[in-house]
Amino acid sequence: MQTADTHSKVIGYLLWIFGFTGAHRFYYGKPVTGTIWFFTFGLFLIGWIIDLFLIPAMDREADLRFNAGHLNYNVAWVLLTFLGIFGVHRMYQGKWITGLLYLCTGGLFFLGVLYDFWTLNDQVSLKNARQRY
């Protein structure tokens, strides 16, 4: 059985460039280690270098773990990363009320954006699973 390609290695490696902030780990659905990388600068850059070789495995794991569907993870993550405080990633998911709330409050004073870094993969996966049924 072929699994859907929900996440992109290209996006993963682009985020890895900023990996000392944990961006690639959040992208692949690893918020705990993403947070650790954020506060320790990629586990003192050692973990960041090791992740260069772990990204293909993280990509395969994310493809197995998250549901493919009409919402694209790559689009959602790019919108969150660059326009998160404006709520564009929430509007993309059809969450217009919270999207507008983020727009008016700077991503609920950035705390909502941090929450979304922890949960965006699950939000998109749930929306894609619901769309199938």
Residues 79 and 117 reside in one and the same domain: yes
Do 93 and 76 form a contact (C-beta atoms < 8 A)? yes
91 pLDDT exceeds 90? yes
8 residue type, one letter: S
Q: Are residues 52 and 85 in the same domain?
A: no
pLDDT at 1: 54
Q: b/e map of 21-52 (b: 16 or more CB within 10 Å)?
A: bbbbbbbbbbbebbbebbeeebbeeebbeebe
With a pLDDT cut of 90, the percent of the chain lying above it is: 89
Confirm whether 2 is domain-assigned.
no
Task: Please identify, among 17, 44, 65, the residue that sits at the C-terminal boundary of a domain.
Answer: 65
Q: Is residue 3 part of a domain?
A: no
Q: Note the pLDDT tens digit of each residue in 24-64.
A: 999 999 999 999 999 999 999 999 999 999 999 999 999 99
Residue 65 Cα to chain centre, angstroms: 13
What pLDDT does 101 receive? 98
Which pLDDT score, from 0 to 100, does residue 20 have?
75
Domain region containing 52: 9-65
User: Is 70 a residue whose pLDDT tops 80?
Assistant: yes
Number of domain units in the chain:
2
Distance CA 15, CA 51 (A): 11
Compute the average pLDDT of residues 66-73: 96
Angle ∠(12,127,96) on CA atoms, nearest 5: 95
Residues 57 and 84 in one domain: no
For range 66-84, the mean pLDDT: 95
Q: What is the arithmetic mean of pLDDT over 78-97?
A: 96
Mean pLDDT of the chain: 94
Residue 24 is assigned to a structural domain of this protein: yes
pLDDT band at 2 (very low <50, low <70, confident <90, very high): low
Residue 33 lies in a domain: yes
Per-residue confidence at 3, pLDDT binned at 50, 70, 90? Answer: confident
48 within domain boundaries: yes
